[in-house]
Amino acid sequence: MDTALKAPRSAPGAPEFRPPLPPGIDRRTRPARRLLALAREFAAVLGRLPSETEAPLVLDAAALALESETLAARAASGEQIDPDLRVRVSGALGRALERLGLSAGLTEVPKPDPVAEHRKRMGWDR
């Protein structure tokens, strides 16, 4: 997932978030490793270990981000993807990040102000 969220480096010796997975899930598979990496990244952006009530929310957000990545990869390979599904996954991911308080890092790029650009070109902005 390529977003504005960047995980801060954790201090050496700091405890690492180990997301709870249901029994029987093999953590060595590629999707499980990616899911865990996303969950750890979201937890790092929190800046602390998630509480017991936040841990499932972090895992849900990671699962939705993984599903979004999977859909994007399928679309990029030319496969026909249901656009409603993309919108639903994207919306659910946004809401999951909001519940965790992580949506503040996802901001839109500000649009340039044409008046300020004109003043700058004319040299009036000194």
The residue to which tokens 């990545």 are assigned = 69
pLDDT at 46: 86
**Torsion angle defined by CA atoms of residues 32, 37, 42 and 48, in that order, rounded to the nearest 10 degrees:** 110
5 has pLDDT over 70: no
Higher pLDDT, 10 or 63: 63
The pLDDT tens digits of the residues spanning 97-124 come to 999 988 755 555 566 777 877 788 888 8
Task: Specify whether the backbone of 47 is left (phi greater than 0), alpha (psi in -120 to 50) or beta.
Answer: left
Give, in degrees to the nearest 5, the angle at Cα 54 between 53 and 57.
110
Determine what percent of the chain is predicted with pLDDT higher than 70. Answer: 80
**Sorting pLDDT into bands at 50, 70 and 90, what band is 14?**
low
Q: Give the predicted TM-score (pTM) of the model.
A: 0.70
73 has pLDDT over 90: yes
Q: Which residues of 24-58 are buried (b: 16+ CB within 10 A; e: fewer)?
A: eeeeeeeeeebbbebbbbbbbbbeebbeeebbebb
64 has pLDDT over 70: yes
**Torsion angle defined by CA atoms of residues 121, 123, 125 and 126, in that order, rounded to the nearest 10 degrees:** 140
Q: Can you give the residue ranges of every domain in the chain?
A: 30-122
